[in-house]
Amino acid sequence: MALLFLPLDINFICPPEQEIFEWFENNKILDLGDWNFRDGQHEWALVATGQPVTDWRSISAYASWQKQNYVYSSENKTKFAPGFAEKFPSIVSAIEQMPFKEIGAVGMLKQLAEIEEHRDTYDPNEPVEPRRYMIYLTDPQYNTFWVNDGKERQLTKISDTRRVFVFNNKDTKHGAFPPTGPKILLSVVGILDNDKHQKLLDESLKYNGDYVIKSVL
């Protein structure tokens, strides 16, 4: 059975929800156009990147990361959006606890509609799954994120104390039911240190077993 969803043993205190919403509205990307996040399913705000940034409200930094094609570069250092680290030190701390050798892009995403079943961008390094790192930033009662266990769509368990999680992008598809309330998550992509990543998965399994979702096949 493949491991599909796992809350992580990462210390995180969520900032006040209203501050999250206010920052998002003041910093969301203005030129999504026909890029990956189309059809009114999400709005996005760029939080951090290892790429050069000329406009923090443009999709260009995400596009630059995609062009790098998950090839490690020691020259790419993580840069946070102006004022973000000072306003949200707990989010920065959680990101820094994640086992990335290089951060590609970090973004907040606000769900606007039902998200159909899909897989995210392929990682040619093929890191150990589950490997998609996320933080749930708003009220967990409005969580609608699910993974397919091979038989049916399983709604994930998110709580105030288990907001940082990983999900499997290779062995299953995922999506989200229609939103039932305001919902913002944070996505972190980059190049993982596989040994540190595996160690974090192993440690997290010890403490979060009741929240785990595995495939039924």
Domains of the chain, first to last: 3-214 (2.60.120)
Q: What is the dihedral of CA 165, 170, 171, 177, to 10 degrees?
A: 60
Instruction: Indicate the SS3 state at residue 9.
Output: coil
C-alpha distances out from residue 185 to 20, 108, 128, 135, 144, Å:
10, 6, 22, 6, 11
Residue 192 gets which letter from DSSP? E
pLDDT 10s digit of each residue in the chain, 217 long?
Answer: 899 999 999 999 999 999 999 999 999 998 876 555 546 788 999 999 999 999 999 988 888 888 898 999 999 999 999 999 999 999 999 999 999 999 999 999 999 999 999 999 899 999 999 999 999 999 999 999 999 999 999 999 999 999 999 999 999 999 999 999 999 999 999 999 999 999 999 999 998 888 999 999 7
Q: What pTM was estimated for this model as a whole? A: 0.95
